[in-house]
Chains A and B, each alone.
Chain A
Amino acid sequence: DGGITQSPKYLFRKEGQNVTLSCEQNLNHDAMYWYRQDPGQGLRLIYYSQIVNDFQKGDIAEGYSVSREKKESFPLTVTSAQKNPTAFYLCASIQGGEQFFGPGTRLTVL
């Protein structure tokens, strides 16, 4: 079955550590996106990528980094520079009007 996988589902991090969230899709979609969602809030765009080896900053890119070395993969690194990283992170891929979201990763900083 085609879809998006995100791992891990839950992630705990100590302050000062970098962590990487995985996002993989087998839909052959060109565009991939990372969003952050805080409790009771909407989705805010962190980074997005239209093609391999290229990506653009979204509205809240500070403290995050991404790579797009393969079409299927768009990992997100939450760096120690992100001051308030505890949130729910969602990855999505889109092709025209077809799109899917991954199940999300809940990141908690201890």
Chain B
Amino acid sequence: AQKITQTQPGMFVQEKEAVTLDCTYDTSDQSYGLFWYKQPSSGEMIFLIYQGSYDEQNATEGRYSLNFQKARKSANLVISASQLGDSAMYFCAMREFGSYNTDKLIFGTGTRLQVFP
């Protein structure tokens, strides 16, 4: 079963506007973590933001915020004031802490964001 779902293969946003990238997840564990990464054309994976399942506040890092809705099992990334340099692939990932054998980090299929002037 798909554990991490990103339903938007591609998104367009105008510079200086905000954009939301969707991510839903599936887990029966109570303890897990959610990550967002940016991958520019160079291939490097850049960590953006982390949300633990027990964190009550939504995580924020500069222009990035994570809209965490636990009951809906969604962890959407919000980028405010988009910049041309934000154009890249964005991946959502989940790590389940439930047991030794399932402690792995799994990824969604990604969303390609393009920012236009």
* A binding-site residues for B, Cβ under 8 Å: 31, 33, 35, 37, 41-45, 48, 50, 56, 58, 88, 90, 92, 94, 96-97, 99-101, 103-104, 106
Contacts and interface: CB of A to CB of B under 8 A. Distances in A.
Contacts of B63: none
B44 A104 contact: yes
Interface of B: 33, 35, 37, 43-45, 47, 50, 52, 91, 93, 95, 100-101, 103-110
Contacts of B91: 42-43
B109 A92 contact: no
A90 B50 CA distance: 20
Contacts, number: 52
A94 B37 CA distance: 14
A88 B50 CA distance: 24
Nearest to B109: A42
Contacts of A103: 43-44
B78 to A, nearest CB: 19
12 contacts: A31-B103, A33-B104, A43-B93, A43-B107, A44-B107, A45-B106, A50-B100, A94-B95, A94-B105, A99-B47, A99-B105, A103-B43
B47 A42 contact: no
Given A97-B52, A99-B35, A45 B45 contact: no
A106 B43 CA distance: 10
Contacts of B47: 99-101
A94 B106 CA distance: 12
B71 to A, nearest CB: 22
B110 A42 contact: yes
Given A97-B33, A97-B52, A42 B107 contact: yes
Given A31-B103, A42-B107, A48-B104, 4 more contacts: A33-B105, A42-B91, A45-B104, A101-B45
